[in-house]
Structure 1
């Protein structure tokens, strides 16, 4: 069970990383198209008094004993939200290192046992449930001793619209996935009060947005959640490959479809600056980690609910070393 959970975390990080790159690729192209499309993204103003920015030392010592400035690193919280659960399915600290010209992604595991204030404890992902993205930033800053001032939130519901806009994606459907895919499509269309088209066979085929999202949600077949994240990975990679080969003239339409599913505290100018850095720094690769770390956490069950208990001080020290010195 522990190994399956670990594999799931690895795949989830890769999936949300792909989503982030898709979003930045789309927005980045607008640097040479029309910045007015960014105005369709929901903007939320953050007050520093609401997000508990941690007072941390201006420098941090690396493994060689050298003092490294923290000022050259900008941290932004990326939230992948499933509105059906009203919780953040993915919580990632995006770190842009202006000295090393590098992007780092630190996945904060959703089951991490955290305090919400007033002696309340819960899973990290439910910080969103109790106060949306603003509360998520606040809890992450408090629990991980960070100085995050901005966030980008992605609603996974926007993925179906993107897939339809690019003409669908090709997926190889297994025989035992057909009925479950159709079941998910039916329930999704009923909830949205729209019509649906079931698939009639297994094998390679082009799925529309609704079908592709339904496919990525299948979990009660094969290796359960592990294969579910594999399906998500296949769909996201197919989307990414298709977008890379999409004519630039279609990008405004893609962004127009995606924008309603995005929310950020960044201004348009800051968003464009971020996109520019992501495209430039992304050429140097993306470093990834997850926290709590394997050797500094334990699986725990409280009243039948799974949590990750963690050695907070040691995890924070290791996370900060990754973000600022590696």
Structure 2
């Protein structure tokens, strides 16, 4: 057993799952793959620490819309305002939506339910070359945007990039490497394979898109902490180099270094460096929160920006976006733009532990089946999700590799 965890340790194996398959009724179906102890009312038992910190996590989730979603909104807004004349600026990496693989052994009820949703994978890339959005790039941000086709509600699930999963090529490791190995197609298949999803559309962006957008909007107001200053200034060296490679007048690569804490205006390079801070605070989880702060500011400024500014952002940013969403689908999304409602957001995995695999620190779902069950309930209100044999097999492999089973975990860092 890895980690110093307390209570609720319950090993899962194929034999016990086969026994559970004989249960009938919605209650037994909800129990499958979920091994945390329940209280007298049938709810999961949480420690006092979890109860306190999950409240804090939920406040953070309200903003998770943000880093890649902002550029989806710009994309749709551009189609809505300027029509098809702007679509040609987008990158097309040749990924046919109909060729993106998914689990053929998915439960029939789940497959039917998913037809009522449009699921889009959003990838924020750590590209060091502006506009480089294909294979060879790691996905720093992975967000699943699920649109209810009937109600137009959009729910978001952020997949932590260090999560230990099957990378859709029968290798296991950090899930963000799937994009580097096989581009957006393999990254989407990674999500589909591990999570029983039907994703076939993606949107990818890179650092330079964020730099340009912030500068064109006149900067963002951020309350910088004392302990963040050195990290921001350190990242500004590399971020400035990226900006200079873009050779574009809309980028100001010579922003002053941050010298004092407090509320201040951060321009493109500064704001991007701020988003990249990782080793201050709670690592990846706090970095996600910083990204959300910046994008929240971008959204607010974009709301009051004139058409000229929006047009400039589209002209500058569209070439730094890759997507395989068809024109007809984009037009339909644009027509329904005013009906979209941003709902709740969450993070995956909810129940997790840490481990070192091949010399790297990874986030381990504890266990995968319990987390995928939670994901389907959150995104699709699916109370009777039943994991496919593929997900069950991956779950067993992760347990065998890491020794991490279903147990009480600290979910406070979401």
Q: Could you tell me which runs of 5 or more consecutive residues in structure 2 were left unpaired when the two chains were aligned.
A: 6-48, 129-135, 246-252, 383-414
Cα 1:192–1:300 shift into 2, 3 Å: same
Does the Cα contact within 8 Å between 1:27 and 1:272 map onto a contact in 2?
no
Structure 2 residue 131 is matched with structure 1 residue 83 = no
Does the Cα contact within 8 Å between 1:186 and 1:196 map onto a contact in 2?
no
> How far has the Cα of 1:265 moved from its partner?
0.8
Q: What is the aligned counterpart of 1:121 among 172, 197, 200? A: 172
Does the Cα contact within 8 Å between 1:82 and 1:88 map onto a contact in 2?
yes
Q: What is the aligned counterpart of 2:372 among 291, 308, 316? A: 316
Does the Cα contact within 8 Å between 2:120 and 2:203 map onto a contact in 1?
yes
Cα 1:223–1:49 shift into 2, 3 Å: closer
Structure 2 residue 331 is matched with structure 1 residue 272 = yes
Cα 1:191–1:34 shift into 2, 3 Å: closer
Cα 1:177–1:145 shift into 2, 3 Å: closer
For each residue in 1:140-180, what CA deviation from the matched residue of structure 2 results, as whole angstroms up to 9, or x when unmatched?
11222222121111223211101111122233344554454
> How far has the Cα of 1:21 moved from its partner?
4.1
C-alpha distance in 2, partners of 1:268/1:107? Answer: 26
Highest CA radius of gyration, 1 or 2? 2
Number of the residue aligned with 1:59: 109
For the residue of structure 2 that corresponds to 1:43, the secondary structure is coil
C-alpha distance in 1, partners of 2:59/2:359? Answer: 25
> How far has the Cα of 1:16 moved from its partner?
5.1
C-alpha distance in 2, partners of 1:146/1:290? Answer: 16
For each residue in 1:170-216, what CA deviation from the matched residue of structure 2 results, as whole angstroms up to 9, or x when unmatched?
33344554454333323332455475232464244333211221233
C-alpha distance in 1, partners of 2:287/2:373? Answer: 33
Does the Cα contact within 8 Å between 2:208 and 2:242 map onto a contact in 1?
no
> How far has the Cα of 1:262 moved from its partner?
0.9
Number of the residue aligned with 1:291: 348
Cα 1:170–1:288 shift into 2, 3 Å: closer
Does the Cα contact within 8 Å between 1:182 and 1:198 map onto a contact in 2?
no
- Tell me the matched-pair count: 316
The answer to which of 102-111 and 271-280 deviates more is 271-280
* Equivalence map 1:216-295=2 (5 Å): 216-221=275-280, 227-277=286-336, 279-282=338-341, 285-294=342-351
Structure 2 residue 254 is matched with structure 1 residue 196 = yes
Q: TM-score, normalised by structure 2?
A: 0.66
Cα 1:101–1:198 shift into 2, 3 Å: closer
More strand by share: 1
> How far has the Cα of 1:136 moved from its partner?
0.3
Does the Cα contact within 8 Å between 2:143 and 2:156 map onto a contact in 1?
yes
For the residue of structure 2 that corresponds to 1:157, the secondary structure is helix
Number of the residue aligned with 1:211: 270
Does the Cα contact within 8 Å between 1:160 and 1:212 map onto a contact in 2?
yes
> How far has the Cα of 1:134 moved from its partner?
0.9
C-alpha distance in 2, partners of 1:95/1:111? Answer: 22
Q: TM-score, normalised by structure 1?
A: 0.81
Q: Could you tell me which runs of 5 or more consecutive residues in structure 1 were left unpaired when the two chains were aligned.
A: 62-67
For each residue in 1:30-49, what CA deviation from the matched residue of structure 2 results, as whole angstroms up to 9, or x when unmatched?
31334311221112333467
Number of the residue aligned with 2:213: 162
CA RMSD, 1 decimal? 3.5
C-alpha distance in 1, partners of 2:109/2:281? Answer: 48
For the residue of structure 1 that corresponds to 2:103, the secondary structure is coil
Does the Cα contact within 8 Å between 1:11 and 1:233 map onto a contact in 2?
no
Structure 2 residue 306 is matched with structure 1 residue 306 = no
Q: What is the aligned counterpart of 2:148 among 97, 107, 113? A: 97
C-alpha distance in 2, partners of 1:19/1:206? Answer: 18
